[in-house]
Amino acid sequence: MEIKRRDFVKLLGAASVATALPGCTRQQPRNLIPYVIPHEEIQPGKAVWYASVCRECPAGCGVHVRVRDGRAVKVEGNPVHPVSEGKLCSRGHAALQGLYNPDRIQQPRRKRDGRWERIDWDDVQELIADKIKELIDEGRSDSIAFINSHQTGSLDALIEEFLNTVGSTRRINYEPFGYEGVKKASDTVFNVEKIPNYKFSEARYIISFGSDFLETWMSPVKHAREFGQTRELENNRMVPFLHVGPRLSMTATNADEFIKVKPGQEYLLALGMVHTIVHENLTRGIARAQINHIRAVVEDYFPREIENRTGISFEKVEKLARTFAAANPGVAVAGNPSLDGTNNALTVAAVHLLNYVCGNIGRTVLFEQTDHLERVDSYATLNRFVRSMEQGDVSLLFIYDSNPSFTMPEVSGFNAALERVDLKIALSSYFDETSAQADIILPVNSPLESWGDYEPSNGVYGLMQPSMKPVFNTRMAGDILLSLKAKINNGDNDTSFYDYVKERWREHHQRFAPDADFEEFWVGSLANGGRFTDTQTISFQLNTGLAKQALEELKDSDPSTRDGFQLVTYPSLNHYDGRGANRPWLQEVPDPMTQMTWENWVEIHPEDAEQLGVRNGHKIEVRSSYGVIELPAYVYEGIQPGVVAIPVGQGHTEYGRYAENNGANPLQLLSASPTDTTGSIRWSGLEVSVINKREPLRIANVAGSDYQNERPFLQVVSVEELIRNSNREPKKEYPQIYDPHEYPEHRWGMTIDLNKCIGCSACVTACYSENNIPVVGKEDVRRGRELSWIQIQRFFDAREDATNGRFLPMLCQHCTAAPCEPVCPVFAAYHTPEGLNAQVYNRCIGTRYCSNNCPYKVRRFNWWDYDFPSPLNWQLNPDVTVRTKGVMEKCTFCVQRITGARQEARLEGREIRDGDVVPACQQTCPTDAIVFGDLKDPESRVNQLRERNKPRGYRVLHELNTQPAVVYLQDVVEETVDN
Amino acid sequence: MPSSYKLSYTKTDADLLNTLKSPSKGYWIALFILSIGLLIGAYGWGSQIYYGMGMSGKNNPVGWALYITTFVFWVGIAHSGTLISAILFLFRVRWRAPVYRSAEAVTVFALMVAGLFPLIHLGRPWVFYWMLPIPQMGEMFPNFKSPLVWDLFAVFTYLTVSSTFFILGMMPDVAILRDKFKGWKKKVYGLLALGWRGTDQQWRHYTAAYVFLAALATPLVISVHSIVSWDFAMSVVPGWHDTIFAPYFVAGAIHSGLAMVILLLIPMRKWFALKEYITDHHLASLAKLMIFTAFVVGFAYVIEFFMAWYGGDIYKRDVFLFRAFGTYWWSFWGLFLFNFILPMLFWSHKYRTSTFWLIFVSVGVSIGMWLERFVIIITSLSHEFNPFAWGFHELTITEVYIIIGSFSLFFFLFLVFSKILPVVSNWEVKEVIEPPRKK
């Protein structure tokens, strides 16, 4: 994706404003008008964009923050950033609700006699510095420790520097999902403790061994983007995608074939494939000796043996192996941290071998672009640290942006150990489970208010700049550390974290543009959102010591599942490890597979459910040797019988009004001891018992039906059918009794490629953000009153031969003969000359007839006056009306963006060009499934796409003759084996 | 004319005055209870206006629910009055005379109550007048393509005609009251009597106008309920979009109207000692008519199912299967039982002459007809085209309040009417009895 010149100028301007900002950050703002004297770049009513980095998960997508009148109102992907390329996920959008969270800690607090009281920044820093000095004087500086979330770049360096100053080495980089298994496997197979990056876009065949790479695994936006490219049809064929795993995750459901196995069996298929490949000499680019070496390593894994152990027929294993080897290159991925405990490292090792023998390493598996998550300390390290906390070895503990109380297994004893620490300082924005137990809370700026840089992987240097002044009396973590450092050295602090970051970028300056002026380089980098480059190749080879035994050692002990269930816990799409749970959008946007909102659940197979007498939504108790939780059951075909799965992220006891009392935290069930093989949390494989509590719960599930009941809403075709249909003409429209509408200039329309839609729901969240859609809360979602203008509808019966769920993004179809329009008694539903079904809020009296008459059911009624608790109201997009109670609303095709584009075109004295109007859903869609444009322009992308994919195009409920402006392209299932 | 009538002109006048005497204790208790019901309804509506439509149990697929159900129910009830007063008048059914006045009152009051529901169900009731054909907001007129506007016109026309018919029909009787009362009452009744003197010329004009109004009101029974049915039939909703809807609704309205008439006549003839006017024979005749209407609605139910199957439309088929076997199965089987099976009791002379069974069946039919609208509106919306959007209505206390309020309002108005205006048409009763002759 390229950046337009005009955009560049716009960004440049924004960046120069940003550089002017830090001069006044020390002043505490009393209100949110951040500029006393407005900068000339900032015009009221005109948006400015700041490039930054999303820090909602370790992926580190580049973002553009849209700022109106000094307030951040929208986050979008940065088109030049190599990770996001303009796209963003739900969690990225919800960063705004982290910034404006009404439960943010607004100033420093200190606990005295069990009560929280306010304290000045100066006093509190003095207090901490004194304590540190005291410890140093006593020679106990090593009892000062620092736990932080995954950090890279300047802040990482600063933390290191700070600890050096105080004379301690105790630092834990903690991520609950730490990818220990991948590192271990890379070490075993290749002798490098690295996490490779994967290049899906180059692959001709994709196999995922339990990796949910489209939702939470490493860098989901990047993967989804690249995956979208592989779903492009070429001569009616595309890249096949096979998923092997214990549960039908959102990633799995997008596969052309999903092979369900018990957790921990994935490696068998991989090794069986390797076995076939090396025995049939299908390898690519490796020496004979190595083939023999590998042959010896995998000699036990005959496809027949695989069939015995997994039930996958040996012919299938062989065919898969042949097809995959012939793909040249394919990509096989594995290492979902949620499978730690069930042979995860072994699976990754097997997959590394599979990629290696197929010659994929260096082509689709890039060790030269290793992911910096490899720097995260293992859970075992943290666990050891907790033991030393228990011993009283830690007197002063900093915890930054990390919530071990929630993300460590409850029996790990972290909470008890924390009590042994004299002074616990939480650098946190929120009152979460960990900071609630601190003695001092130093509220830190949200990433959107901070300077910084972030390197998700080699060669990607994202640069963060504040998009606005802090909402509250908070400071950047970097500034806090710098001033503490100065206080400890008894000096004055004359550097800000901004200076610190800038100083560090001199290094990059030398690397990227040594000849350019530094200031120019710096401002350019800010506008760009960082500096990105390709990296040099790292040479490495197969571990010569690799032997059968080495693989055996990676095996996790088999859980003794005599009559219990095997537990799988996994990061949830919306909440990840729980950090997203206080963002109301993320609570309300349904989980795409289960369509559940506002809580978590236990996935249980229908057979098991029947045996236990469990019905969907009934309360069940899950009990392990370590704890017990109660959750609603979600009876789910997609899970292996004998396995129950629970998403992580809910069940907060602290963390604000939106996070608390929703569901339960499965970490209460987990064992404290790390896995022997990888040192990670044993997320899966534990034996649990399930008890039916026989109590129906009021679950907030959005799906009215999981099945389409023979209705062709969501059409899926096989490649074979597609070829058979290739001469199909689109269905003709029926005549109308009214005169047809005339569209003098434009007729807006949309083409949605279902083959590309992965269900990630980023469009839904983007729409909430763009269009000021209120969050209604659990009770109203349960009643069916959610207000999402676009919904990712999921059906399990789109095809008879596959039980995969498929997704249908459903939004207002902007029908030409819209049933909603004639029934409105007051013309509130109105057809514009550009083909939009406009809803005139001011005119609406709320008969709801339009909604009854909408066959797509995409209209939303304001049942109440919805609340945006301050300061969440500052996120509201000033270009969009906030609706009051009693009026109907729905998708407008982002009419404000159409108007904006028209104004801009008029100012430049030209017509609107194709691509000028990009609605929020299309803008963020990682797979480019949504394309919007002018149907009157035959050259527009939206028309071209329809033209190119004629046989796949269809309109939902065509027979009603509503003549929608939205055309869907049928989803396609590719064959996973060559015949 | 049955021989049991042994009335004289003086007696009817006295009886008329008797009904307006100071009410009994029971009356006051009833009025008090109804006022509480009214207050409950007002509270329900008030809170709904204040907090929003979320106070009702509606949601995204089910945009209309109990308010529209009750609206259609009351419009149906309203037909009882016109049915008796106008249609029976045109057919010169003689026993109509003593009962038609209260039947008309039922029409007017039921319409008044019904008319509230479209307002109650509006998201923004304070701007309801945007639906009226008065130029507002930049000379905007309502959208005449919308069945809701037709509905508004139909109901208002009906209300206007039936009110006129009601007031006009009372003129000679009110004139009697004017003559019998003194003081302020005389003035009020005088105003209502519109200068009625009872001259020949006035009678001549009066009877002509009366026939004319009766002839005008009769087609309204058909048109109003046809148009109300088009609120549904003009939509694309499977289960609503049916050509049978207009006659089906009219038949249903008459069915429920008959039940309501029986329910009102029985206590009235007891309280007002009108046994001589409203005989068992009359009630039995109504019961017989009810058998007929039961067959009509029963036929409609069956033919709808037949068409759902025969038409081969999957959406419609599923809605009907959902009606019979889905979440709201009880309402479907309930309406069949109440509207069709129960009135079959009236084949037996014993049942149709027994006060208890008359009331029992009529209450049953009233419930059944309410259920019929419930089934039509709610089950269709719950199970529409898009399966992902299926959803159910969930009853809230506010809806219960408002429905209690609506029934209270209706009976409250009726009770008040019965004590201030002649519930029996004196002049028409006089027409059918022997005129006094000089001995």
What's the pLDDT score for residue B399?
94
Residue A88 neighbours by CB distance under 10 Å = 29
Other CB atoms within a 10 A radius of the CB of residue A126 amount to: 14
Q: Which of B59, B122, B389 sits opposite A785 (nearest CB)?
A: B59
Measured between beta carbons, which residues in chain A are less than 8 angstroms from residue B322?
none
pLDDT tops 80 at residue A39: no
Burial group, residue B119, by CB count within 10 angstroms (0-12, 13-18, 19+) = middle
pLDDT tens, A881-908? 999 999 999 999 999 999 999 999 999 9
Best mutation target among A707, A779, A857 (most B Cβ atoms within 10 Å) is A857
Q: Which of the four pLDDT bands, split at 50, 70 and 90, describes residue B438? A: low
Cβ of B63 within 8 Å of Cβ of A851? The answer is: yes
Number of domains in chain B: 1
pLDDT band at B117 (very low <50, low <70, confident <90, very high): very high
Backbone angles phi, psi at A63, to 5 degrees: -130, 160
Show residues of chain B in contact with A851, CB under 8 Å.
Answer: 60, 63
* Nearest alpha-carbon partner for A145 in A121, A126, A162: A162
∠ Cα A330 A233 A961 (to 5°): 145
3-state DSSP call for residue B251? helix
Q: What pLDDT, on a 0 to 100 scale, did the predictor assign at position A31?
A: 41
Closest-CA distance, B41 to chain A, in angstroms, reads 20
Q: For B233, which residue in chain A has the nearest alpha carbon?
A: A853
Give CA–CA dist A687/A247, Å, rounded.
17
Q: What is the amino acid identity at position A84?
A: S
CATH number for the region A716-973 comes to 3.30.70.20
Separation in Å, CA B102 to CA A760, B110, B347, B425: 64, 12, 27, 9
Can you state the angle between helices A266-279 and A303-310, rounded to 10 degrees?
A: 170
**Nearest in space to A339 (alpha carbons), one of A551, A687, A571, A108:** A571
Within-domain flag for B359: yes
| CB contact (8 A) between residue A861 and residue B60 | yes
Q: For residue B95, what pLDDT band results from cuts at 50, 70 and 90? A: low
B325 touches chain A (CB under 8 A): no
Query: Does A10 have pLDDT greater than 70?
Result: no
8 Å CB contact of A886 and B140: no
* Site from B388, B394, B395, B399 to mutate, A interface, most A CB atoms within 10 angstroms: B388
Q: Distance (Å) from the C-alpha of residue A790 to the closest C-alpha of chain B?
A: 12
Q: How close B402 comes to chain A (CA, Å)?
A: 17
Residue A26 has a pLDDT of 39
Once rounded to an integer, what is the mean pLDDT over residues B96-118?
A: 85
Token pair 């407005």: residue = A38
Asked if the A180-374 domain carries CATH number 3.40.50.300, the reply is no
Lowest mean pLDDT among A57-71, A955-969, B262-276: B262-276
Q: What is the pLDDT of residue A9?
A: 45
H/E element holding A481?
Answer: helix A477-488
- Tell me if A857 and B147 make a contact (CB, 8 A cut-off): no
CATH of residue B252's domain is 1.20.1630.10
Taking Cα atoms as reference points, which of A234, A101, A126, A295 lies closest to residue A723? A234
Q: Between A791, A826, A886, which is nearest B52 by CB? A: A886
Asked whether the predicted pLDDT for residue B3 surpasses 90, the reply is: no
Taking a C-beta distance cutoff of 8 angstroms, is the pair A577, A652 a contact?
no
Confidence class of residue A746 from pLDDT cuts 50, 70 and 90? very high
Confidence band for A34, pLDDT divided at 50, 70 and 90: very low
Give the list of residues 6+ apart from residue B90 with CB closer than 8 angstroms, or none: B211, B214, B215, B218
Nearest to B275 by CA among B31, B39, B2, B5: B5
Please give the residue range of the domain that contains residue B180: 9-20+58-133+149-394+422-432
The mean pLDDT of A425-443, rounded to a whole number, is 93
Highest mean pLDDT among A172-181, A758-767, B76-85: A758-767
**What average pLDDT does range A745-770 have in this prediction?**
95
- Note whether A886 contacts B390, CB cutoff 8 Å: no
CA distance A355 to chain B (A): 40
For residue B38, tell me if it sits in a domain: no
Chain A residue numbers with beta carbons less than 8 Å from the beta carbon of B60 are 784-786, 851, 857, 859-861
A815-832 pLDDT tens trace = 999 999 999 999 999 999
Whether the predicted pLDDT of A24 surpasses 70: no
Task: Name every chain A residue with its beta carbon within 8 A of the beta carbon of B124.
Answer: 844-846, 885-887
* Alpha-carbon distance A702 to nearest alpha carbon in chain B (angstroms): 8
Output the six-digit token pair for A603. Answer: 């996935």
In this structure, is residue B2 part of a structural domain? Answer: no
Residue of B61, B122, B318 lying closest to A847 (CB–CB): B122
DSSP class per residue in A505-543: HHHHHHHH-TTS-HHHHHHHHHHHTEEE-----------
Instruction: Between B437 and A271, name the one with better pLDDT.
Output: A271
CA–CA dist B114, B70 (Å, integer): 7
- Asked if residue B140 belongs to a domain, the reply is no
Cα(A370)–Cα(A366) distance, integer angstroms: 7
Question: Residue A236: what pLDDT?
Answer: 84
User: With 80 as the cut, is the pLDDT of residue A143 above it?
Assistant: yes
Q: Which tens digit of pLDDT belongs to each residue from A582-625? A: 999 999 999 999 999 999 999 999 999 999 999 999 999 999 99
Q: At residue A40, does pLDDT exceed 70? A: no
The nearest CA of chain B is from the CA of A94 a distance in Å of 25
Instruction: Measure the CA dihedral A294/A296/A302/A308, to 10°.
Output: -110
Of all residues in chain A, the one with the smallest CA distance to B140 is A826
Chain A residues with CB under 8 Å of B48 CB are none
Over residues A93-110, mean pLDDT: 94
User: Can you point out the beta strands (E) in A17-167?
Assistant: 47-53, 62-68, 71-77, 109-112, 115-118, 144-148
Average pLDDT, chain A: 89
How does residue A11 score in pLDDT terms, banded at 50, 70 and 90? low
Q: Which one of A806, A826, A887, A891 would you mutate to disrupt binding with B, by most B Cβ within 10 Å of its Cβ?
A: A826
Q: Where is pLDDT greater, at B336 or B138?
A: B336
pLDDT at A162: 92
> Quick one: pLDDT at residue A35?
46
B window 184-243, beta carbon within 8 A of A:
231, 234-237
Element (H, E) at B104: helix B100-120
Would B348 be classed as within a structural domain?
yes
Tens of pLDDT along A567-585?
999 999 999 999 999 999 9
A814: pLDDT confidence band, cut at 50, 70 and 90? very high
Q: Measured between alpha carbons, how far is B173 from A259 in angstroms, rounded to an integer?
A: 86
What are the counts of helices (DSSP H) followed by strands (DSSP E) for chain A?
30, 37
Find, in chain A, the residue whose alpha carbon is nearest to that of B377. Answer: A852
Q: Which amino acid is at A897?
A: R
Q: What is the model's pLDDT at position A19? A: 43
With beta carbons under 8 A apart, name residues in chain B contacting A840. none
pLDDT in tens, A537-567: 666 678 777 888 888 888 887 765 567 899 9
Q: Do residue B145 and residue A863 have CB atoms under 8 angstroms apart?
A: no
Is A180 in the B-facing interface, judged by CB distances under 8 Å?
no
Q: What pLDDT is attached to residue A17?
A: 46
Residue A562 confidence (pLDDT):
63
- B235 found inside a domain: yes
What strand order describes the sheet that includes A460-464? A452-454, A460-464, A530-532
Residue A765 has pLDDT above 70, yes or no: yes
Which of B63, B237, B315 minimises the CB distance to A861?
A: B63
CB A652 within 8 A of CB A433: yes
Q: Is B59 on the interface with A (CB under 8 A)?
A: yes
Minimal CA–CA distance to A355: which of A180, A242, A206, A201?
Answer: A206
Does the distance separating the beta carbons of A853 and B235 come in below 8 Å? yes
Domain spans of chain A? 180-374, 558-696, 716-973
Which residues touch B160 (CB under 8 Å, ≥6 apart)?
none
Q: What pLDDT, in 10s, does the model give residues B143-181?
A: 999 999 999 999 899 899 889 888 888 888 888 888 888
**Chain-chain contact of B52 with A960 (C-beta, under 8 angstroms):** no
**To the nearest whole percent, how much of chain B has pLDDT over 90?**
40
pLDDT of residue A334: 93
* Band (B334; pLDDT cuts 50, 70, 90): very high
> Is A36's pLDDT higher than 70?
no
User: At B6, is the secondary structure helix, strand, or coil?
Assistant: coil
How far off is chain B from A773, nearest CA to CA, in Å?
Answer: 15
Selected from 2.40.40.20, 2.70.70.10, 3.40.50.300, 3.40.50.620, the CATH number assigned to the domain covering A558-696 reads 2.40.40.20
Least trusted range by pLDDT, from A41-45, A502-506, A721-725, A792-796? A41-45
Q: Do A825 and B143 touch (CB under 8 A)?
A: yes
**Residue A761 binned pLDDT confidence (cut-offs 50, 70, 90):** very high
| B363 vs A: CB within 8 A | no
Alpha-helix runs per DSSP H in A138-171: 153-166
